[in-house]
Chains A and B, each alone.
Chain A
Amino acid sequence: MKQLIVQPDFLKLGIATTVHYHVYNGILFYNLSLMFLRLLSLCLIFLLLLAINICCGDVTLAPDQILATLTGGQGSDSAISNIIWQLRLPRLLIAAIVGACLSLAGFVMQTISRNSLADPYLTGVSSGAGLAVALAFITRVDLAVVPLFAFAGGLAVSVIVARLAQTNNGLSVNRLLLGGIGVAAITGGAMTLLLTMNPVFSQTQGIFFWLAGGISGRGWPEFWPAFFCTIIGITAVLILSKPLRLLSLGPNAAQSLGLNVPVMQWSLLISAVLLCAAAVSVSGLVGFVGLIGPHITRKLFRNGERLQIICATMIGACLVLLSDLVARTLYQGQELPLGTLLSVCGGPFFLWLVYQHKEQES
């Protein structure tokens, strides 16, 4: 078997692809490297989930109907067109964005903290968003403005937590995570107090369902701002991919190699917070994607930060697309809250993860 190594970088993503080929009976056989195959499979799964999400729901649409509606050919129906364009498409795109943002934010947080149990919410985004949303409902603002409140609240509290974590030598990511846990405890308690003591039941219900996490009723107006933030966030992290690799060696080692550690830590943190806040503002608190997505990414793709970044976004998107599919179709006519569904399924996985972590420690 002859070997041809395609160097330096295939698609400049950090995968050196090894293509083995041999000629048998005059036919050329290729044996692509594992990483490339995995990337390809991931793309296929992603596209498949997109397709299934369009088809399934309260009304099951056949693929040929969908194709006809999308291309505007014969067999298209205005009712079906409405379902696809106004309901399904924005919703599944939002699901993909939420998953991508949370997973990538988690990946960045876990890499810079060198702690695989870090969750993007530990930066304080969920606490800030939750409080801001509660405030929004209580002060009876227009429902359309609630996402803005969530975004601003998430951003504000994370910056406060990050400033508290600042030491003489730069950002202490450990202190950041601990600070995030502390803030989450405080706001969690405050929120519960608020919810139980609020006499206006509709407000309480509104806050509760918003926090439970879900993307029902989200349409194009919610999609565009979140999409904009997502693109900025992903681009920022891709540009910062080299500093990300350096920071994975630890802040001291990174500094001795000439990296401006405080500036890079802050930049990556702000990117992660931006991504997370964008997701939370549109979907409420959807848990575990930020924890699980990066883990699956690292297990499948050992190295190459740029590749890992792209795959983390795709894996996150697939996870939420899958969960949203289940949330919509498990019980006919009723929709399960997305965040709760992910927590119920993510909980056992998280326990298994901790067990794994402990095994490696000893």
Chain B
Amino acid sequence: MKLSASNLSVGATLTPVLANLNLEITAGKILVILGPNGSGKSTLLKTLARQLKPLAGSVKLDDKDISSLPISEFAKKVAYVAQNIDPQVTLSIEEYVALGRTPHQKWWQWQQSEADRAAIETAIVSTALTELKERPISQLSGGEQQRAAIAIALAQKPTFMLLDEPTAHLDFKHQVELMRLLKRLKTEQHLGLVIVLHDLSAAAYLADEVLLLTKEDGQFLSVAVSGPVSEVLKESNLESSYGVQFRSICERGEMHYFVNIADAGEGKS
């Protein structure tokens, strides 16, 4: 199963922010999208998730245009994990994650089947939310809400999962746990993941392929460079994309990237 984009142009308004993009994501692989703010990462992800219409070109699921698929069929295969849950939601975690089974049920159906219950249970256990099952979402911390958002996507039992900065609200421990969970989802459940990240070290750990977006000054369109981690995450590419100087270190087989925060002129007194 593959999710592909051919000659895709995306944009939140009628002005494209990316054009003529060709991508292919296969199940069991992770694609990480990197780039500075405004380069179109979220817009691209939302277009792949069918939240936005492509300005040109198409997104295909196994060579079928996704806009021609019924919405519930698409939701059975592709799950989108948004950055935040609406703060007005008063559902408990269990009720919320149960809504993840919607694509597999009839639209009026409230009754949970055995398969539904099992999927919900697995999703809650995988995201370590078992103790908080009864708690209303509005009373959770940012990190717990993030995990709930992933749990509902897991309950959909998709083939592809699209995540928009999933580590945004997480502390170090939960970041590490989440990264390991995502890797397990790839290897054990053969999910295809597309993740927008800010953390380069996490990107290096997770990615099979990286898409780096660069925004030129004064240009509307961003330039995309894609390929394996070792090719794309070179210091020169990163500097032209993010506009700061990077240094990379390989430690215990993991790549880490550092940025000099202090200005060259600043000194320690």
Contacts and interface: CB of A to CB of B under 8 A. Distances in A.
A256 B49 contact: yes
Contacts of A240: 108
Contacts of A239: 108
Nearest to A114: B88
B108 A257 contact: no
Interface in B89-113: 89-92, 95, 99-100, 102-103, 107-110, 112
Interface of A: 8-9, 12, 14, 114, 168, 239-243, 245-246, 248-250, 252-253, 255-260, 264, 302-303, 306
B100 A259 contact: no
A250 B86 contact: yes
Given A114-B86, A114-B88, A302-B90, A256 B108 contact: no
Given A255-B71, A256-B79, A249 B99 contact: yes
Given A14-B110, A255-B71, A246 B102 contact: yes
B99 A245 contact: yes
A246 B72 CA distance: 13
Contact of B82 (A12, A168, A243, A253): A253
Given A258-B103, A303-B91, 13 more contacts: A114-B86, A242-B107, A246-B102, A250-B86, A252-B82, A255-B51, A256-B50, A256-B79, A256-B80, A256-B82, A257-B75, A260-B71, A306-B110
Contacts of B100: 257
Contact of A249 (B85, B92, B136): B85
**Most B C-beta atoms less than 10 A away, residue of A8, A253, A264:** A253
Contact of B110 (A242, A250, A255, A260): A242
B156 interface: yes
Nearest to A239: B108
Contacts of A243: 107-108
A168 B110 contact: no
Contacts of B82: 252-253, 256
A9 B103 CA distance: 22
B135 interface: no
A103 B50 CA distance: 35
B133 interface: no
B74 interface: yes
A252 B85 CA distance: 11
A93 B173 CA distance: 61
Nearest to A259: B102
Contact of B99 (A12, A168, A257): A257
